[in-house]
Chain A
């Protein structure tokens, strides 16, 4: 029972970090139907940027976080302006392919700026542990849970209630009709990329705390795919739930079965999901009127 509780809590927080990584991916997909293969590299930049501001610039951690988020927004806007905007109106597949290129460029850029050797993550989060019943978990890991939930509520509000959020979903549904109501596609795409970059930066900070500052953060970005396929490519809530389920599954298999099986469990889920419910738990099904 003790193990179970311990595993559950750590699975939940791991899952929330996956969710944070996946949310930005979902936002971009929702706005533009583009599958962003560079999401993992945005995470990587989040990790390096916090390292840069706190260790290299020696800023206090509050200012460091602010700076990281600001640079992330700027990066999101820049990527949209330079890489994706010229492709508006082209087939979606072109945009998807360009994100693969973007991924390589970002990774190489991080390599050029900070070198290939792993760095230690600045421990700015309060150390301490939290005991829930008999389970003991690091405070920095548990922090991902409220953070993830807060982000979920915020984005939910954005997509349901605000003008730009509704416009974003409108564009995803029907670009021509969205244009005909004066919705500016570049503006909405820019907002989507800014959100994706910021959520990735937050996810990157949390991840860096766990796995350290190195290129391997981007590899964890790959974990985004099982998460979003499970939750539904275009559902924020699905990304969070998918993240939690994948996180729990990983930790349970690791804890009870072991043998490195936990590393492949997510992809196992991905395959099953694609077979039985390809649009995910909460994705929008294709509407067919009869």
Chain B
């Protein structure tokens, strides 16, 4: 198995001042699902945007380190170049084109494709993954429900036939049953299309259930990593991200357990 995406000591600053990533290093193996966990403000979304070139419009810049994709340095390249190289980010909060129909949203997703002939086939594939969308092809995307919009956002990404998908909180604002459905499809896409996926998610339990490998970020760098199986077992991850403290063993003295809090930080 080969490394598809590699961050090497990446530093990102916004407006030349605000340091958000402080030497982030991570690797995503080709064909795997990697999860990026961490609390708010840890730099997860910034890591995705640094990869996809979307930092640019927010006055963010990679000021140190390198990002390699398929052996090629990509940091600082324009977003459309990176999409052409095969990386596609599904941004947080769905961001479907509200005044475009479902069908047109999918056409927009295929913007960088040259092989026009197979676009229709890929569209059928998307409707196959998300049958709900097929019934709404001619409807404005703005009138879809939140779940349908998330499906459209993922389907739109598939239209670009990316080698690597960056998913930013696909569960945001969705009912648990819908979230499960979306995650099952993410897993299916990974297995059936062989698409490598880097997943940012607040719902750690869910993310660990479909990912192969996971990183925990804190303050702009990776503080913990391992296979998702190891992570589920990890005491700290269980307590801080899965909410599974060791039951029953709590005595008054243990209320001071915050001392133990995130010992990797010190």
Report A's interface with B, CB cutoff 8 A: 89, 160, 163, 166-167, 169-170, 172-184, 284, 287, 289
Interface size on B, residues (CB 8 A): 36
Which residue in chain A gives the minimum CB-CB distance to B104? A166
As a 0/1 sequence over residues 138 to 153 of chain B, the CB contacts with chain A under 8 angstroms (1 = contact) are 0010110110000000
Given A182-B80, A284-B99, A287-B99, check contact A177 B91 (CB 8 Å).
Answer: yes
Q: Is B18 close to A, CB under 8 A?
A: no
The 9 A-B pairs at the shortest CB distance, nearest first, are namely A182-B83, A287-B142, A177-B95, A182-B112, A173-B97, A182-B80, A170-B108, A179-B79, A184-B80
Q: Are A180 and B104 in contact (CB under 8 A)?
A: no
Give Cα A107–Cα B146 distance, bound, in whole angstroms.
49
As a 0/1 sequence over residues 84 to 112 of chain B, the CB contacts with chain A under 8 angstroms (1 = contact) are 10001111000111111000110111011
**Min CB gap B158→A, angstroms:** 11
Give Cα A184–Cα B82 distance, bound, in whole angstroms.
12
Q: Are B57 and A179 in contact (CB under 8 A)?
A: yes
Q: Is B74 close to A, CB under 8 A?
A: no
Q: Are A182 and B160 in contact (CB under 8 A)?
A: yes
Q: What residues of A have a CB within 8 angstroms of the CB of B83 in the complex?
A: 180-182
Q: Are B79 and A182 in contact (CB under 8 A)?
A: yes
Q: Are A183 and B95 in contact (CB under 8 A)?
A: no
Q: Are A180 and B111 in contact (CB under 8 A)?
A: no
Identify B57's interface contact among A163, A169, A175, CB under 8 A: A175
Q: Are A177 and B96 in contact (CB under 8 A)?
A: yes
Which residue in chain A gives the minimum CB-CB distance to B81? A182
Which residue in chain A gives the minimum CB-CB distance to B106? A166
Give Cα A176–Cα B96 distance, bound, in whole angstroms.
10
A interface SS class: helix
6 contacts between A and B (CB under 8 A): A89-B57, A166-B107, A180-B88, A181-B156, A182-B83, A182-B88
Q: Are B80 and A163 in contact (CB under 8 A)?
A: no
Q: Are A183 and B91 in contact (CB under 8 A)?
A: no
Identify A169's interface contact among B84, B100, B142, CB under 8 A: B100
Which residue in chain B gives the minimum CB-CB distance to A187? B80
Give Cα A242–Cα B99 distance, bound, in whole angstroms.
21
Q: Is B195 close to A, CB under 8 A?
A: no
Which residue in chain B gives the minimum CB-CB distance to A164? B111
Q: What residues of A have a CB within 8 angstroms of the CB of B228 in the complex?
A: none
Given A176-B91, A182-B111, check contact A169 B97 (CB 8 Å).
Answer: yes
Given A179-B54, A180-B54, check contact A173 B80 (CB 8 Å).
Answer: no
Q: Is B211 close to A, CB under 8 A?
A: no
Given A181-B88, A182-B160, A287-B142, check contact A163 B107 (CB 8 Å).
Answer: yes
Give Cα A289–Cα B109 distance, bound, in whole angstroms.
23
Q: What residues of A have a CB within 8 angstroms of the CB of B157 in the complex?
A: 181
Give Cα A187–Cα B98 distance, bound, in whole angstroms.
22
Q: Is B32 close to A, CB under 8 A?
A: no
Give Cα A100–Cα B52 distance, bound, in whole angstroms.
35
Q: Are A166 and B57 in contact (CB under 8 A)?
A: no
